[in-house]
Structure 1
Amino acid sequence: MKTAMGLAAMVLLVSASRPPVIQTERNVRQERCDLLLDQLDKASRSSVTYQDAKSVDRLRKRAIYLCNRNKESQGVRAFAKALAILGLRPVDTTKQQITRKP
Structure 2
Amino acid sequence: MALLRNISTISTIALTAAVILTASIDQSTADETPTRTELCGKLQVQTQHAITEHAEAKRAAKAKALQKQATRYCAGNKQAQGIRAYAQALKLLGVQPITD
Q: Same fold (TM over 0.5)?
A: yes
Assess if the C-alpha contact under 8 Å between 2:50 and 2:93 holds in 1.
yes
Return the alpha-carbon distance in structure 1 between the equivalents of residues 73 and 63 of structure 2. 15
Residue 98 of structure 2 is matched in structure 1 by 91
The runs of at least 4 consecutive aligned structure 1 residues that moved more than 3 Å come to 47-51
Quote the offset at 1:89 in angstroms.
1.2
What is the TM-score with the length of structure 2 in the denominator? 0.62
Equivalent positions of 1:41-56 (< 5 A) are 41-49=48-56, 51-56=58-63
Residue 73 of structure 1 is matched in structure 2 by 80
What is the TM-score with the length of structure 1 in the denominator? 0.61
Structure 2 residue ranges without an equivalent (≥5): 1-29
What one-letter code is carried by the residue in structure 1 that aligns with 2:63? V
Name the SS for the 1:45 alignment partner.
helix
Q: Which has the higher helix share?
A: 2
Return the alpha-carbon distance in structure 1 between the equivalents of residues 37 and 54 of structure 2. 28
What one-letter code is carried by the residue in structure 2 that aligns with 1:39? Q
Quote the offset at 1:50 in angstroms.
5.9
| Identity, % of aligned positions | 33
Q: Does 1:64 align with 2:71?
A: yes
Structure 1 residue ranges without an equivalent (≥5): 1-21, 94-102
Aligned length: 70
Equivalent positions of 1:24-39 (< 5 A) are 28-39=35-46
The structure with the larger Rg is: 2
Please tell me the root mean square deviation across aligned C-alpha atoms, in Å: 2.3
